[in-house]
A = this chain, B = another copy of it.
Amino acid sequence: MTLKIGVIGTGAIGREHIKRITNTLSGGEIVAVTDVNQESANQSVEQYGLNAVVFPDDATLIAEGNVDAVFITSWGPAHEGSVLKAIEAGKYVFCEKPLATTAEGCMRIVEAEMKHGKKLVQVGFMRRYDSGYVQLKEAIDNNFIGEPLMLHCAHRNPTVGESYSTDMAISDTLIHEIDVLHWLVNDDYKSVQVLFPKKNKYAHQGLRDPQMVILETKTGIIINVEISVNCQYGYDIQCEVVGEEGIVKLPEVASITYRKNAALGANILMDWKDRFIDAYDVELQHFMDSIRDNGEPNGPTAWDGYIAQVTADACIKAQESGRKEDVVLKEQPDFYKNNLKTAQV
């Protein structure tokens, strides 16, 4: 059984997913594409030798009977509309972050999905499929370190473009930690605070960088996340979980070690695309496998998308206020409580 997939948005990330489905993974086929730039859509078909129809817009693509699932890889503000149309049509959705650009938008999706009565939507938070985070999750769930008390995290990029603004440290960068960390410790956020250390001289004018975000969960876990987007040395993701009886920490990316020039060293990645390359594969394969096996996706839900958006909003508010800000979440509907356990990788 092959999942027939339509892709909405054939930019860089859309094409990465097209390539994965076509050349690397099993069980899916790209049968439809669309893009606001129709030329781009046409090119993507040619580039990967797809046997796919190019549609004029998301609505017509979603309406196509041959399409089982839609991948939404357009720009952020267009996500909500496409997701809602897909839900209405009863199509499965794999939506890159953000699910919607506002908490209200996310909630509209949540409500539409609940009204539909079956889970259809998975949000593209790929870190849950990274082998290191999966190992951390297993260790915590198996009580290997007792109750988690603190997390020390860092998200570092070597450099960013001029268009990267202070709030994007939250909405584009921290957003991944926001999703993966509450999943990791099985808890919700209660409050957030943002501190601005001395500015890095490599940060462009107008950008506050680095930043230190402190999140507190409902049960009292305190999480500090360093965000450095001009760290120069590499793309580096760190996560250490301090429990009552021990600590577990993400592994460094596997690299040969060398002894040369008075140093014992290993390479650090410079390009973020290399860091979670395996996780993207696992994420999409898992999306397709779960639909085949369970009739619904069981990765990050629309509710997780909502949590991420509300938390990000609170962080941005905290950036501006300089104070601790509450994360005010609605109560989780039962509909999302019985989420299938994320398959072990």
Q: Are A256 and B261 in contact (CB under 8 A)?
A: no
Q: Are B245 and A233 in contact (CB under 8 A)?
A: yes
CB within 8 Å for A195 and B214 given contacts A254-B253, A265-B263: yes
Which residues of chain B have C-beta atoms less than 8 A from A198's C-beta? 147-149, 219-222
Q: Are A201 and B257 in contact (CB under 8 A)?
A: no
Q: Are A246 and B233 in contact (CB under 8 A)?
A: yes
Q: Are A248 and B256 in contact (CB under 8 A)?
A: yes
Which residues of chain B have C-beta atoms less than 8 A from A136's C-beta? 256
A119–B95 alpha-carbon span in the complex (Å): 44
Q: Are A149 and B210 in contact (CB under 8 A)?
A: yes
Q: Which of A100-131 contact B (CB under 8 A)?
A: 131
Find A260's partner among B135, B233, B252, B259 (CB 8 Å cutoff): B233
Q: Are A255 and B135 in contact (CB under 8 A)?
A: yes
A28–B133 alpha-carbon span in the complex (Å): 31
Find A259's partner among B247, B255, B256 (CB 8 Å cutoff): B247
Counting CB contacts under 8 A, is A304 at the interface?
Answer: no
Q: Are B135 and A256 in contact (CB under 8 A)?
A: yes
Among A76-84, A138-146, A170-178, which stretch is in contact with chain B?
Answer: A138-146
Q: Are B132 and A254 in contact (CB under 8 A)?
A: yes
Counting CB contacts under 8 A, is A27 at the interface?
Answer: yes
